[in-house]
Chain A
């Protein structure tokens, strides 16, 4: 079995993730149009695109937290249309760590284990293991408010890895950090992903960063046959009550 599955139609059986013909329309405009992407079983793919090009939307479609208007997402050939986010086993890490503010570091990392009803003692062992992996040993009882940006992002990564996801989705995970930290964390993440062997999609607008982490780098625009899309947009209608 090759470590890297080259992209191309008609390769069967499709091991890993396959995205086909995905289309997302927002306010009458196609944010994603007829998009196709494959990620092999141990592959780390870097996905490049300017901000507003629909990268986050694509990750949310893959994770199952956002419904596409058309298209198919499958894993090992099985369609995931009927599988809700909480049963897909895809981990998601956003640009800002989005740690749960009412839980400490340990409880944040254990969240997915708690959802899977894993016994408390086993949770604690796994949390300690993951904190060691992201080089924050002994941080279990720390409040998330006391973490630096880099530490928070490591905890978010540990939280996503804890339930042993089949696929990890990273949405600009370093872009909130300063340059030095970004380069160091990117190298750490590459080493870490290879150690645990989890396939991943890293979305970024920074080509250098993509190359530092990924086995293969693709541009979002190259995944869609149509002409490049218009101005940036997101599913946003800001209007607080």
Chain B
């Protein structure tokens, strides 16, 4: 989440005219209109016109909706229970290995959902096909969200406030309840809202580890649209989905307004764990991190286990066209497809997100409206977006089905809000006086902008690129609707392999999933070092 804008930093560079801002905004606005707004309108109109009445009287709809909401609520509570101690430990305590712990807790968020599903199947084969597996996987993904959102604020609360409370007679627990908790509540509410929306719209995980007899809304939309080709029914469910998320976000926004107080922000000293219960907490969170890593370790083991022994056989077979029974291309070909799509999607997302962020930061008016508009795809589920693009293609003027660009385009739409969220805080944090200093040292307006904002922007863009690339590599919701059958991405192929029996298929799926994990982690870790301190991605 952004930190509140300081008054000083609200000043846009004088040389960036309103016209330039309009040009910057034009690209993102046009793309949003054609590829987000139009598909959503299609979901709305076809949902209303077609199946809504039938869907509303169908008891299955309400069972699916109820299950979706219940598992999201349970996932949110569990993620908060696991994430709040972790947020405290990594934001308030200094100890050896803290940075490693942060990475272990935060990186899962960008890992491909399908891969994580497979990893949980490898770790707990007995749990596959149960709600418990879904909840565990959701906690795995969202501890990092809680750590980033709540820890981001917690790290900036002045630790001396708690010390003052102690000298006034507050026990540690009372000091937390009376002082820390009220200040933290808005961030906890924000984190809860995010986790609820993410888990309400979770798709890949539920498809891979969930109970086939208990679909969530996402899975049901996918099933109707792709397997039954019941587009009106899928659109009606998509409409319900949009309404449910809008309601959840409205409740969250109201809650946050009610809870919002002045935050004493102060990047301050961390304390070493000094007392016993803090050490216990560090140990608890380290155990959490190990649990987070356990499914990935199980996946690695699965990919190296060949027959009774160990080996790289499954990895070798990935590159072998004869490795399977009915395939004429190597499984590794999906890696080429995934990487190509991800690179194109990253470039698209950077251009769209970067220009949107500049327009928002420098706009004299309308910046907030644009900010909300570009965040829209975050609130819309990828599945609904994919469905909308499909509907537009079926009935509208632009048919992107089968077009090569459809998949990277869908992925870029999902990644663009993340790019904006990464770049915008950095741009807003630039002290305008630095440009003035540069000007007094003889730099012309554009030189001054390039030297001051440009330098910050390129660092933020590197981080955003890593994030967009990782998200695109693992994207499954929109991709599942748009990918061509003859050139699947890795996640799409993994889901297909899941339906095939035999040790060879399972082994190769694990190997392929591991390659994708390593690729994603490498991209994120390689770009993470450009992140300026204190600028979260969420």
Contact = CB atoms under 8 A, between A and B. Distances in A.
Interface of A: 60, 63-67, 84-92, 94, 98, 100-102, 111-112, 114-116, 145, 159-160, 162-163, 165, 169, 234-241
Contacts of B170: 86, 111, 115
Given A92-B164, A240-B156, A101 B264 contact: yes
A241 B102 contact: yes
Closest CB pairs A-B (n = 5): A112-B168, A85-B166, A115-B169, A236-B269, A65-B163
A235 B271 contact: yes
Given A66-B274, A240-B156, 6 more contacts: A86-B167, A86-B172, A89-B169, A91-B167, A111-B170, A111-B178
Contact of A235 (B91, B172, B178, B269): B269
Contacts of A98: 158, 160-161, 164, 264
A241 B163 contact: no
B242 interface: no
A82 to B, nearest CB: 13
B272 A235 contact: yes
A84 B166 contact: yes
Interface stretch (B144-152, B428-436, B462-470): B144-152
Interface residues of B, number: 47
Interface in B264-287: 264, 267-272, 274-275
A106 to B, nearest CB: 14
A111 B183 contact: no
Contacts of A159: 164, 168
Given A239-B533, A240-B155, A111 B165 contact: yes
Interface of B: 87, 90-91, 94, 98-99, 102, 147-148, 151-152, 155-156, 158, 160-161, 163-172, 174-175, 178-179, 182-183, 261-264, 267-272, 274-275, 533-534, 536
Contacts of B174: 86, 115
A88 B274 CA distance: 19
B155 A63 contact: no
A19 B98 CA distance: 34
B312 to A, nearest CB: 37
A90 B167 contact: yes
Contacts of A162: 168
A63 B155 CA distance: 23
A101 B164 contact: no
Contact of B183 (A63, A86, A101): A101
| B91, B166, B172, B263, most chain A CB atoms within 10 A | B166
A193 B163 CA distance: 22
27 contacts: A60-B163, A63-B166, A65-B166, A84-B171, A85-B167, A86-B167, A86-B174, A87-B169, A91-B167, A91-B168, A92-B163, A94-B164, A101-B261, A101-B262, A102-B261, A111-B165, A115-B169, A115-B178, A160-B167, A235-B271, A237-B270, A240-B91, A240-B267, A240-B534, A241-B91, A241-B147, A241-B155
Contacts of A66: 274
Contact of B152 (A88, A100, A241): A241
B279 to A, nearest CB: 13
Given A101-B261, A145-B262, A240-B155, A63 B167 contact: yes
B535 to A, nearest CB: 9
B166 A64 contact: yes
A65 B94 contact: no
A100 B167 contact: no
A103 B288 CA distance: 35
A160 B160 CA distance: 14
B88 to A, nearest CB: 11
Contact of B167 (A65, A114, A238): A65
Contacts of A236: 268-270
Contact of A86 (B160, B161, B171, B269): B171
A238 B161 contact: no
A85 B175 CA distance: 11
A34 B293 CA distance: 46
Contacts of A116: 169
A155 to B, nearest CB: 12
Contacts of B151: 241
B168 A115 contact: yes
B169 A102 contact: no
A169 B160 CA distance: 14
A101 B259 CA distance: 13
